[in-house]
Structure 1
Amino acid sequence: MMGVVYYANYFRYFEAGRNELLRAAGVEYKHLEAGGHALPVASASAKYVSSARYDDELELETRVEQLRFGSVRLSYVLRRPADDAIIATGETVHACVNPEGRIVRLPDSLRASLNPG
């Protein structure tokens, strides 16, 4: 019998969901960096609801929950479609920083692309 998915891998799933959300919104991270901005993770949390096993097919919903002056908060819901079980939920907050690592205002173009409302 195959084992359960290692807990830290859920953060990899969240990262993949975040990258896909940015792509779907028309945001290319390399252009963000070329403009002097980066979005490092300032905080991350996960709640493990049920176990995923190796070879389970999973679906991840990623949403923009909040845009602030210099940060964006994203939420994640990971499900197993076979039984519609929620596997994990999570949240990340990303600070918008300049090349010196100082928090700066989210670029207007990013704000417009990610606006949840």
Structure 2
Amino acid sequence: MMDNKTLEKKAIAAECFVEVPFFDLDPMNIVWHGNYVKYFEQARCELLRKIDYDYPQMKESGYYWPIIDMRLKYIKPANFGEKLLCIATFKECENRLKINYLIQSAESGEKLCKGYTVQVAVTTSDFEMQLVSPDILKQRLTDYISGLS
């Protein structure tokens, strides 16, 4: 079964592209800081789809996975019309789901923002937090890695 050391070695990642829309800008004409969370979410959904455990599958398996911790580090602002490459990578899966993110300019490769989110499983029936990640997450990761061979 999947553990954090194996997950780290396999570096399962997914990416998506975002073209910065006008409505994501702040009064300084750069991307408003809160919108980077939205870009993280888009990359996270791509990553979860990759292992066939996106939000609908999570709910079907009896768990919600709320974010309990998030960190963002802003390096350089993004601008209107800029194409961004948003990358999400699994980092931990044993007791929580930790995903690392990198947002960079799709054209220059320059880093713009990085961060992580931490999610924990809670049961859909009574919202009881799980102290260990449910086997379904570890199984989906194991199945994905097995399919690569």
TM-score, normalised via structure 1 length: 0.88
What's the offset of the Cα at 1:109?
Answer: 2.6
Structure 2 equivalent of residue 97 of structure 1: 122
What SS is found at the alignment partner of 1:13? helix
Structure 2 equivalent of residue 88 of structure 1: 113
Greater helix content: 2
Structure 2 equivalent of residue 76 of structure 1: 101
Is 1:110 paired with 2:137? Answer: yes
Aligned CA-pair RMSD: 1.9
- Tell me, yes or no, if the aligned pair for 2:122 and 2:128 is still in contact at 8 Å: yes
**Larger-gyration structure (1/2):** 2
Percent identical residues: 24
The structure 1 segments of at least 4 consecutive aligned residues displaced by more than 3 Å after TM superposition are none
Structure 1 equivalent of residue 40 of structure 2: 14
Deviation per residue, 1:43-83 (Å, 9 max, x gap)? 111000011001100001100111123x1110000010222
- Tell me, yes or no, if the aligned pair for 2:94 and 2:138 is still in contact at 8 Å: no
- Tell me, yes or no, if the aligned pair for 2:72 and 2:115 is still in contact at 8 Å: yes
What SS is found at the alignment partner of 1:5? coil
- Tell me, yes or no, if the aligned pair for 1:76 and 1:91 is still in contact at 8 Å: yes
Alignment gaps of 5+ in structure 1: none
Q: 1:43 aligns with which of 69, 72, 76?
A: 69
- Tell me, yes or no, if the aligned pair for 1:64 and 1:114 is still in contact at 8 Å: no
For 2:67 and 2:30, how far apart are their aligned partners in 1? Answer: 26
Alignment gaps of 5+ in structure 2: 1-24
Pick closer, same or farther for the CA change 1:28–1:77 going to 2, 3 Å: closer
For 2:141 and 2:33, how far apart are their aligned partners in 1? Answer: 28
For 1:73 and 1:28, how far apart are their aligned partners in 2? Answer: 15
